[in-house]
Amino acid sequence: MTPDRADVLIVGGGLAGSLVALAVAARDASRRITVVDSGAPQEGQSDSHTWSFHDTDLSPDAARWIAPAVAHRWPGQEVRFPSYARRLRAGYASLTSQSLRAAVEALPMVTRLPGRATAIGAAGAQLHDGSRIDAPCVIDATGRVPRGYLTLGWQKFVGVERQTARPHGRALPIIMDATVDQRDGYRFVYTLPFAPDRILIEDTRYSDGPALDHASFEAGIEDYARAQGWDGTEARREHGVLPIAMAFDAEAFWADAAAGPVPVGMRAGLFHPVTGYSLPLAARAADIIAAAMLESPVSTASVMAAMRRFALETADRQRFLRLLSRMLFRGAAPPARRKVLERFYRLPEPLIERFYAGDLTRADQARILLGRPPIPIRDALPCLREAPLLEDLRRKRAT
Ligand SMILES: Cc1cc2nc3c(=O)[nH]c(=O)nc-3n(C[C@H](O)[C@H](O)[C@H](O)COP(=O)(O)OP(=O)(O)OC[C@H]3O[C@@H](n4cnc5c(N)ncnc54)[C@H](O)[C@@H]3O)c2cc1C
């Protein structure tokens, strides 16, 4: 098969597109997969990424096929708040842009091409140089969040990977060090120790607007590194503005997407509504797609049907997480957001693990809300219903 024809065409070779390639290749080595990637980051994102996940986010199957792409692993993680610090037992792991790309390029059935699609349809894509690639199954993994169907808050961050002059002394990731002073909403620092003298330091803020003031974040990182005594030089940096979902009109999104290519990843609104992370859902979606390809002749329509089912079930399961986002962004004044998280991380570890994996049970949900609710009832009441935000979205799409 030449590059202008494939069994599966994946437009966008970032996180979600690459995971689809890994999952499909793991189940059926006979599929010819073409991945086209423009190499251009999304608006507000950098093209250098570290994508992390908790071991408990993935099924054993997904853990197996993602393993070749993993660049770093740790046997636990920590959180720190003004009133306590806690070690969490779940292992943590990171992929990097390089490790993910290398894992995909090592697959003999995958051709990865540089190129920007100017039009993507259910039967193929038109590229910027005038060429065209046709395939019976086309996946849209271009990463553009469907904003018209979502009401959003933002998690913004700048990360600097620092080569430290002396060992930095950290062995485990601190996924939330909220002992830092609070600015621009809820602020914490996230650190990943890649080597004894190399550490990623990310200044992160949950704020109402998407504007990223780089200078302020850089100053935050510098203050943090100085306070830890981490002299050194910058080796790499990344930044992101991640969507936090307060409402999602998933039914309308999937109805409008029906005749096109199969959306995955951020393009399909498949991310954790409270953290903006998409890796766990991208891995599940990749498994769904790989399984659908074994069940019936590979076509955009059959994969679309399976993805739509999965995505609508996911959106339904995420109702409670969107409520938490509304409470965080609309119910809690910015200075109160840290208290909400501080209380949350005192909950039992299995619940925290299910929160990250997006698998909270009804009992977990009750546990989060009952007893001492995260915000006062009178502030929570106006946030309870998603319907007014959905109405608003529908009105805006109609005009
Ligand atoms: C810096 C950063 C760090 C993050 N860290 C984490 C994390 O630790 N864990 C986690 O779960 N989530 C993380 N996220 C959030 C989320 O998981 C990522 O944004 C993730 O990359 C989304 O995956 P995606 O495949 O949907 O989009 P992307 O990874 O952005 O991939 C889209 C790809 O499509 C390509 N593309 C776009 N348009 C075209 C076109 N027309 N033609 C061809 N190619 C095109 C782009 O070049 C890009 O490579 C992070 C986000 C950022 C920005």
- Distance CA(297)–CA(299), nearest Å, equals 6
Can you give the pLDDT at residue 71?
A: 97
Ligand 1 centroid–CA 379 distance in Å is 34
- Distance CA(138)–CA(124), nearest Å, equals 6
Domain 150-245: which CATH number of 1.20.120, 3.30.565, 3.30.70, 1.10.3470: 3.30.70
Percent of all residues in the chain with a pLDDT value above 70, rounded to a whole number? 96
Q: Which atom of ligand 1 is nearest to the CA of 116?
A: 42
Q: How many other C-beta atoms lie within 10 A of the C-beta of residue 312?
A: 14
Can you give the pLDDT at residue 331?
A: 84
With beta carbons less than 8 A apart as the criterion, state whether 89 and 349 touch: yes
Ligand 1 centroid–CA 223 distance in Å is 29
Sketch the domain layout of the chain as residue ranges.
8-73+90-147+247-317, 150-245, 320-398
> Does the pLDDT value for residue 3 go beyond 70?
no
Confidence of residue 376 (pLDDT cuts 50, 70, 90): confident
Helix or strand (DSSP H, E) at 120: strand 117-121
Q: Which atom of ligand 1 is nearest to the CA of 270?
A: 26
- Distance CA(141)–CA(14), nearest Å, equals 7
Residue 210 CB-density burial (10 A; 0-12 exposed, 13-18 middle, 19+ buried): middle
Q: What is the mean pLDDT of residues 107-112?
A: 95
* Ligand 1 contact via 52 beta carbon (within 6 Å): yes
Of the residues 36, 38, 51, 58, which should be mutated to test ligand 1's pocket, given the most ligand atoms within 8 Å of the CB? 51
Percent of all residues in the chain with a pLDDT value above 90, rounded to a whole number? 83
Can you give the pLDDT at residue 44?
A: 60
* Ligand 1 contact via 17 beta carbon (within 6 Å): yes
Residue 25, token pair as written in the block: 């290749």
* Ligand 1 contact via 16 beta carbon (within 6 Å): yes
Q: Which atom of ligand 1 is nearest to the CA of 272?
A: 11
* Ligand 1 contact via 95 beta carbon (within 6 Å): no
Can you give the pLDDT at residue 297?
A: 85
> Does the pLDDT value for residue 2 go beyond 60?
no
Ligand 1 centroid–CA 24 distance in Å is 19
Query: Domain 8-73+90-147+247-317, CATH 3.50.50.60 — does that match?
Result: yes
With beta carbons less than 8 A apart as the criterion, state whether 142 and 136 touch: no
Confidence of residue 253 (pLDDT cuts 50, 70, 90): very high
Confidence of residue 1 (pLDDT cuts 50, 70, 90): very low
**Model confidence over 331-368: pLDDT tens digits?**
878 778 888 889 899 999 999 999 999 999 999 999 98
Q: What is the mean pLDDT of residues 290-302?
A: 91
- Distance CA(389)–CA(395), nearest Å, equals 10
- What pTM, to 2 d.p., does this model score? 0.95
Of the residues 277, 289, 307, which should be mutated to test ligand 1's pocket, given the most ligand atoms within 8 Å of the CB? 277
Can you give the pLDDT at residue 154?
A: 93
Can you give the pLDDT at residue 369?
A: 83
Can you give the pLDDT at residue 41?
A: 65
Can you give the pLDDT at residue 209?
A: 87
Ligand 1 centroid–CA 239 distance in Å is 12
Give me the residue label for tokens 């991945």.
Answer: 35
* Ligand 1 contact via 278 beta carbon (within 6 Å): yes
What is the chain's mean pLDDT, rounded?
Answer: 93
* Ligand 1 contact via 45 beta carbon (within 6 Å): yes
Q: What is the mean pLDDT of residues 213-221?
A: 95
**Which amino acid is it at 320?**
F
* Ligand 1 contact via 331 beta carbon (within 6 Å): no
* Ligand 1 contact via 39 beta carbon (within 6 Å): yes
Confidence of residue 370 (pLDDT cuts 50, 70, 90): confident
Mean pLDDT check: name the lowest of 41-50, 153-162, 233-242, 347-356: 41-50
Q: What is the mean pLDDT of residues 298-315?
A: 97
**Beta-sheet strands, E only, within 214-352:** 232-248, 262-263
**Cα angle vertex 15, ends 10, 18, to 5°?**
45
* Ligand 1 contact via 185 beta carbon (within 6 Å): no
Q: What is the mean pLDDT of residues 69-83?
A: 97
Strands, sheet with 124-127, edge to edge from the N-terminal-most edge strand = 117-121, 124-127, 132-134
Can you give the pLDDT at residue 373?
A: 60
Confidence of residue 46 (pLDDT cuts 50, 70, 90): low
